[in-house]
Structure 1
């Protein structure tokens, strides 16, 4: 899918989120990378093979205010 040089990381690589953005739909909360990975605004991911990756949100310390 990726035609960039150097090529973007494949969907099964640890750094898959470094791939180029192909489509961005912030109003729907998702984006498509050129390696076929769908990334969601909650940091969850859906890989091209259908595998879901749980969100990786930072933990908030108890008693902390935003």
Structure 2
């Protein structure tokens, strides 16, 4: 059975950024410096123009599907 066209995976755009100069890519060290294009603090996430989803727990989801686990700083006593 063939998968309907609507259910087939689609290619994600490399970047949603239309700024000049362009925001950092999702793979760059300063990826979080990209502009927010959609913010949903009530749901705990924001979408950056480079395609990165940032979560309030400091986790991330990159456009290629890679998951970055939350990385909270250690608490000093």
TM-score if structure 1 supplies the norm length? 0.89
Give the aligned partner of residue 35 of structure 1.
Answer: 50
Give the aligned partner of residue 41 of structure 2.
Answer: 26
Give the aligned partner of residue 70 of structure 2.
Answer: 55
d(CA) in 1 for partners of 2:18, 2:45: 22
What root-mean-square deviation, in Å, do the aligned CA atoms of Structure 1 and Structure 2 show?
Answer: 0.8
TM-score if structure 2 supplies the norm length? 0.77
Give the aligned partner of residue 7 of structure 1.
Answer: 22
Bigger Rg over Cα: 2
Runs of 4+ with >6 A deviation:
none
Q: How many residues align?
A: 62
Query: Which stretch of the first structure deviates more once superposed, 52-61 or 17-26?
Result: 52-61
Q: Unpaired runs of 5+ in structure 2?
A: 1-15
Q: Secondary structure at the match of 2:39?
A: strand
